[in-house]
Amino acid sequence: MKLYSKDTAVSMIRSMIIRGRLSHAYLISGERGVGKKTLARYMAAQILCETGTGEPCGVCKSCRMIKNDAHPDFITVSAGGKSGNYLADDLRAIISDSSVAPNEGERKIYFLPRADRSLPAAQNALLKIVEEPPPHVLFIMTAESKERILPTILSRTVNISLSESGEAECLEALADEGISEAEAREAVSVFGGNIGRCLEYIREPEAKEFVLKLKGISAALVSGDEYELLRELTSLESDRENCGYLLAEFKNVIRDAVAAKFSGKLSSPCRAEAAGLSEKFRQSSLERMYDAVCEAEDRINGNSNAVLTLSDLCGKLSVNR
């Protein structure tokens, strides 16, 4: 398992293993596509490897099972909510299961991808076990927005923040995946050093459609075409998960628009559109737009009615012109 731009996190876990100072809970945070799940699996291999050196040997039984997603002590917790949210019952099940001893070694690891999509009741259920887990239990969680994690849970975890790779390292990673240089450079021009998003852009037609939709929303906002803005926004009403991703990405476009006013680095896949927004709107208007998108994203992730939420967002974005 090859990692890119994760040396600091890997070294930290290795040091904790060697010194016998592992924490009982870790939270890996960062934007979609930066390698949170990949790092989580690598950390599990570090911790469960039979050599105990903090460096996965790749050949022991534990390492082989991790590689094949078959290790009985690396347990991925699935979200039971219709919108991919964790429900309280999903996490209460950990409490009873955690008392069972590990199958293979000394530890049992529970992996919670997108823990920030836990509803409040679910997070309170998780807090009960994270506060005082059995000695053999360890949690690895990921989050795109750690601000949605309860402070009481955050205070009991070691936070590992990930950012995108450099352009050269991203091109290397894409080459390792068999991607042509031309395709790789096109993807990097859109998503920078975000390896996961670059791979999506190259391999999944929906990813390119996603970027086009993001550009469409931005263009409608710049042109003042409220009907087109509403049409673009509500076209994803039946796909709640992608709707949440779209709003999260649109926040980055608005953030870039503000950054452009101060000659800051632009990192969204719609840099030209962000520059257009920056020229069109005052900073105060952009800040209100950002807040409106944040509110809509929270409502979508909280199972609010998508049509009403997106229609309301359209109105707020238009008012803030």
Does residue 108 fall inside a structural domain?
A: yes
pLDDT tens by residue, the chain, 321 residues: 788 989 999 999 999 999 999 999 999 999 889 999 999 999 999 999 999 999 999 999 999 999 999 999 999 999 987 778 899 999 888 988 999 999 998 999 999 999 998 888 899 999 989 998 999 999 999 999 888 899 999 999 999 999 989 999 999 999 999 999 999 999 998 888 999 999 999 999 888 888 999 999 999 999 989 899 988 888 877 777 778 888 988 998 999 999 998 887 777 888 888 999 999 999 999 999 999 999 998 888 777 888 899 999 999 998 765
Q: Is 143 helix (H, G, I), strand (E, B) or coil?
A: strand
Domain end, chosen from 106, 137, 161, is at 161
Residue 50: CATH number of its domain: 3.40.50.300
Residue 273: CATH number of its domain: 1.20.272.10
Tokens, residue 47: 């911790």
Same domain, 76 and 99: yes
The total domain count for the chain is 3
Q: What is the pLDDT of residue 84?
A: 80
CA distances from 65 to 13, 22, 44 (A): 20, 22, 11
Same domain, 16 and 110: yes
Same domain, 143 and 213: no
Note down the domain range covering 106.
7-161
Q: What is the pTM of this model?
A: 0.83
Same domain, 246 and 196: no
Q: What is the pLDDT of residue 321?
A: 59
Same domain, 15 and 153: yes
Backbone angles phi, psi at 157, to 5 degrees: -125, 155
Does residue 121 fall inside a structural domain?
A: yes
Same domain, 180 and 273: no
Same domain, 156 and 13: yes
Helix or strand (DSSP H, E) at 108: strand 108-112
Same domain, 85 and 109: yes
Domain end, chosen from 203, 223, 254, is at 203
Contact 311/230 with Cβ under 8 angstroms?
yes
